[in-house]
Amino acid sequence: MVTLDAIRRLARTLPGVEEGTSYGTAAFRASKKFLARMYPDDLALVLKVGETEQEFLIDAEPDIFYITDHYRGTSLVLVRLAEIDADAFERLFVRSWRQVASKKDIATFDAESQAKGAKGGSFAE
């Protein structure tokens, strides 16, 4: 299970990510572009993934990924936080961040990741 606190810890590791609010819920932006926000029920995260990936994720794992009519035709997907594995969530969140982050922030992240070598722990701990 992924919690909002775990998402915050992960977001803090990504250059350029700022936390704020969107529709009264915790939200994250990178380079002032929407990345994610908590769904009002606090059980899911609305995450920018791209339309092609949205369809793929929903088809591949409908127990984890879904959309409501409101998100149909967008590049957003809802992620059931109780259902997704922390490592899979981390990979997805970082991939989504790369879509909206600046080239400078991506280069900084990649350089820091390369310098660290093997991952030293999980954001979910």
- Indicate the pTM of the whole model: 0.91
Using a 10 angstrom Cβ sphere, with 0-12 exposed, 13-18 middle and 19 or more buried, the burial of residue 55 is middle
CATH assignment at residue 36: 3.90.1150.30
Q: Give the tokens for residue 113.
A: 């990741």
- In the chain, the number of structural domains is 1
Q: Is residue 52 part of a domain?
A: yes
Domain around 48: 4-102
Report, as ranges of residue numbers, the positions in the chain whose pLDDT lies below 70.
118-125
Q: Which residues lie across from 44 on neighbouring strands?
A: 80
pLDDT given at position 61: 98
CA–CA gap between residue 79 and residue 84 (Å, rounded): 8
Domain-located, residue 107: no
Cα separations (Å) of 37 from 31, 83, 103, 105, 112?
A: 15, 17, 22, 20, 26
Q: Please give the Cα distance from 71 to 8 (Å, whole number).
A: 23
Model pLDDT, residue 51: 85
pLDDT at 8: 98
pLDDT per residue over 61-70, tens digit each? Answer: 999 999 999 9
Integer CA distances (angstroms), 14 to 18, 29, 78, in order: 9, 11, 21
